[in-house]
Amino acid sequence: MSIIVAILGLSFLIFFHELGHFLAAKLCHVGVLEFSIGMGPRIFSRVWKNTRYSLKLLPIGGSCAMLGEDAAGSGDFSTATGEEIEEEEPQQESGSDTELTVTESSDLSQDTSVTLSAYEESTREDTSEQIGYEIKNRDPWIDYDGVRFRRSEIQKYSFQDKPAYQRFFICIAGVLNNFILAAILAGIIVFFCGFDNLYVAGSVDNAPAATAGFEDGDSFRYLGYHDKHLSFVPGYRDLSIWLYINSEDFDDNTLLDAVVIRNGEKKTITFKPYYNEENSRYMLGLSFYGGRFAAGNLYEFLTDTFYEVRYNMTIVLQSLGLVLRGKVHRNEVMGPVGAVTVMGTTVEKSTEFGLLNAFLVLLALLVMLSSNLGIMNLLPIPALDGGRLIFILFEMISRKRLDPDLEGRINQIGMIALLALMAFIMSNDIWNIVSGAYASILGG
């Protein structure tokens, strides 16, 4: 059951991402050929209001396929995948309304007049149908797997023929949706659990921090190297990340600056870390109050929600930096399969403390994954949203559009590289599951 919940949760994030593209495309009057959830063969599909909605077999992934998304635009259909449909020419039935009948009536002129009028009306209708057919035959339907547009409408509804600002909005809408969803879920967590604000509870005896000027109840805000850029650390988890990345570089000559809030005023305190013989590493020499603190008013609730989202975005960016610097083992890199496995196991373990706890743990994971999905899609890699945004930004700044064929080839190369990376990550996920690497990460 926990695995099913994890799959549904991940599918929901992808659905929300694609929904952003879909709504933006509709708002900008771009034709959406298919809005699908999942990958692989369709298990349900229906065309409604000139868009195909599909549910596919593998519940991981999704897409929002738009008209002209990969075409050259400006009426060039050489790369279009639609099929032209010719309409049947209307057939005239022989002798249906063309017979002139004379009856044995004294008022012959009246009967003849009525019959001739019917003939003339029929002739006008036939001519109208023929003209309509000829017009439609010059402007045939283009069929995209059940979704149809007139040839003359292609340019009107094509993604590539929209202004740059509309294409930019459509491309970034999925990422914005992920960040909005992360904020909503983070707000629910803060409402029930509060935020892990960082308050000083004391200092270690004989540590430099003990005499530096810290007081119980000081609210930590910034921390960094002396006279250098300070990092924002409003929560205990933010501090943990900063120490994880920087503490290895500490030595006896290291000077740190901390900015704290005391009685509503900011104070900057300079101190040295101390070396803990027992743990064989440098530490701050401070202790902090544990747990989460409830927001006292709406302003604190909104700021704590922002801090929660910011923390998750920070951990994604910091993790990405560690990967690029080669400081992360391959066992710690995971894709969708690994994410589902870890989510399922984590949720299952958290049920021991009650359903509400399991629900909040699931929300916390979804906030992190939604932030992850949004940031990763912003990377300037061809075939991702970020790659498309780079091309559009170049066009908006230079007022010159990149050759569509060149852009298409770059995106194809990027897609091949992306698929290769996905295949590697998926194989890595499977290996970690089989070898039990994820179990060791989770403490199993």
Do residue 22 and residue 83 come from a single domain? Answer: no
* pLDDT tens across the length of the chain (444 residues): 667 877 888 889 999 999 999 999 999 999 999 999 988 899 999 999 999 999 998 877 789 999 988 754 443 333 345 666 655 555 554 444 444 344 444 444 444 444 445 545 555 555 555 555 455 557 888 888 889 999 888 999 999 999 999 999 999 999 999 999 999 999 999 999 999 999 999 999 889 999 999 999 999 999 999 988 899 999 999 999 899 888 888 998 999 999 999 999 999 999 999 998 888 899 999 999 878 999 999 999 999 999 999 999 998 888 888 777 776 666 666 666 667 777 777 777 777 778 888 888 889 999 999 999 999 999 988 888 999 999 999 999 998 888 877 887 888 888 888 778 777 777 776 766 666 655 555 555
| pLDDT the model gives residue 103 | 43
The verdict on residue 104 lying in a domain is no
The verdict on residue 99 lying in a domain is no
| pLDDT the model gives residue 206 | 87
The verdict on residue 95 lying in a domain is no
| pLDDT the model gives residue 73 | 43
Q: How far is CA 402 from CA 77, 395, 396, in A?
A: 18, 7, 11
Query: Using CA atoms, how far apart are residues 300 and 320, in angstroms rounded to an integer?
Result: 30
What is the DSSP code (8-state) at residue 322?
A: H
Do residue 268 and residue 326 come from a single domain? Answer: no
**Residue 236 is part of which domain span?**
196-291
| pLDDT the model gives residue 99 | 45
Do residue 123 and residue 259 come from a single domain? Answer: no
CA atoms within 13 A on the CB side of 133: 12
Query: Using CA atoms, how far apart are residues 67 and 149, in angstroms rounded to an integer?
Result: 10
Do residue 206 and residue 167 come from a single domain? Answer: no
The verdict on residue 97 lying in a domain is no
The verdict on residue 2 lying in a domain is no
SS3 assignment, position 21: helix
Q: Which of these three, 291, 309, 328, is where a domain ends?
A: 291
DSSP letter string, 75-123:
TB-TT---EEEPPPPPPPPTTSS------S-S-HHHHHHHHHHHHHHHH
Do residue 313 and residue 171 come from a single domain? Answer: yes
| pLDDT the model gives residue 74 | 42
| pLDDT the model gives residue 60 | 75
| pLDDT the model gives residue 238 | 92
The verdict on residue 177 lying in a domain is yes
| pLDDT the model gives residue 347 | 73
The verdict on residue 3 lying in a domain is no
Q: How far is CA 209 from CA 31, 204, 255, in A?
A: 63, 8, 11
Chain centroid, CA 205 distance in Å? 49
Q: Map tokens 């094509």 to a residue.
A: 158
Which CATH number covers residue 201?
2.30.42.10
| pLDDT the model gives residue 1 | 63
Do residue 238 and residue 334 come from a single domain? Answer: no
Tokens linked to 158: 């094509």
What is the DSSP code (8-state) at residue 443?
A: T
The verdict on residue 149 lying in a domain is yes
| pLDDT the model gives residue 75 | 39
Is the CB of residue 335 less than 8 Å from the CB of residue 428? yes
Do residue 84 and residue 171 come from a single domain? Answer: no
User: H/E element holding 434?
Assistant: helix 404-435
Do residue 383 and residue 408 come from a single domain? Answer: yes
| pLDDT the model gives residue 244 | 86
Do residue 153 and residue 276 come from a single domain? Answer: no
User: H/E element holding 426?
Assistant: helix 404-435
Burial of residue 245 (CB within 10 Å: 0-12, 13-18, 19+) is middle
| pLDDT the model gives residue 38 | 87
Do residue 228 and residue 253 come from a single domain? Answer: yes
Do residue 347 and residue 319 come from a single domain? Answer: yes
Pairing of strands 286-288, 281-283: unpaired
Q: Which of these three, 230, 265, 291, is where a domain ends?
A: 291
Number of Cβ atoms within 10 Å of the Cβ of 165: 11
Do residue 19 and residue 58 come from a single domain? Answer: no
Query: Per the structure, how many domains does the chain have?
Result: 3
